[in-house]
Amino acid sequence: MLAADDHRYRRQSLFPPIGLAGQRRLGAATVAVVGCGATGGATAQLLARAGIGRLVMVDRDLVAEDNLHRQVLFNESDAREMRPKAEAAAAHLREVNSQIKIEPAVAHLHAGNIDELLAGTDLVVDGTDNVATRFLLNDWAFANTIPWIYVGAVGGEGMLMPVAPPHGPCLRCLLPEPPPPGVLATCDTAGVVGPVPAAMGAMAATEAIKLVIGAGEREPRLRSIDFWHWRVHTIALPVRQGCPTCVEGRFEFLEAQPGSRLTEICGRDSYQIVPRDCGSLDLAWIASRWKGGNQTRSKSFIRIEEGGMRLVLFADGRALIEGAGEAGRAQAFYDRVVGA
């Protein structure tokens, strides 16, 4: 007879490779999803329904209208209110499964905060939109012997590879170095078919369940799926001789010092600014002294609009700026608001 807390997952635990023992492992596990948008959001929803005991949701961005065709956790209200994706995702997932712990973190993951944000996790799922964060996750996973799942979607194609430290292959066996800007296709240059991230999220959630219960592949493989033309490739990726991460144990991305940097965000005229050693900002004070443009305040951020630009400032000093047109104008707007 099933215990009361197992009844919800009865159809899943009836599957022999999972069983009651596997279901209870899921309930005891912590999984972090870094990036709560398209692939990450689809993965997180399925893991919440599967009964993962604790979900950590990390995302730096806000919900926008052009997210809605592919990001299944959000609705029009989230976009109108520009809710932080991590908080909106957590709120919706709590309505899906109130029995599990869901912890949102509205943050840009970097070398200085990754240990804190991913503390206590048994597995990390990649829902990011940039190579730099994936290289950081790869380093962190091998430094802490925590498995992670690389997954992406662009155009009509998706790619997935579980990575299982301490053994390779790893992301740097596939991509030895971060490619120059503009080399890899992105959602901005190639678009993305809405169902593709959801399909990749389902695959990532399945791999996550297998890894948590100890049924993952002994030799992880890279899978590439062209959904538009129904071409599937499974590649036995070899460990690359001299790989700095999984062979030599060097973690240069993890050891990099976080500093002030401005980066362009895929998909719209947007920039993110991450300051060096900013500490915690007094958002109420900044809002009270700012006299230009329109402003909106929430518990997580202040939003200021002026001259066709929109700046969203978080308490850690990070900002998202839209409509600046070029990086220098975005930085100047930030400096005026923050007082740098």
Helix axes 85-96, 38-50, angle to 10 degrees: 30
For 170, counting Cβ atoms within 10 Å of its Cβ (0-12 exposed, 13-18 middle, 19+ buried), the class is buried
Which is nearest to 144 in space by CA: 177, 174, 172, 114? Answer: 114
Of 187, 243, 246, 266, which is the active-site residue? Answer: 187
User: DSSP letter at 232?
Assistant: E
d(CA 198, CA 21): 28
- Whether the Cβ atoms of residue 59 and residue 185 lie closer than 8 Å to each other: no
DSSP 142-177: HHHT--EEEEEEEBTEEEEEEE-TTSS--HHHH-SS
187 is catalytic: yes
Q: Where are the beta strands (DSSP E) in 49-88?
A: 54-59
DSSP 238-280: PPPTT-TTTTT---HHHHSPP--EEEEETTTTEEEEE-SS---
- The backbone torsions φ and ψ at residue 295, rounded to the nearest 5 degrees and listed phi first, read -140, 150
Element at 90 (helix H, strand E): helix 85-96
Work out the angle at residue 175's Cα, subtended by the Cα atoms of residues 167 and 199, and round it to the nearest 5 degrees.
85
Element at 295 (helix H, strand E): strand 294-297
Catalytic residues: 187
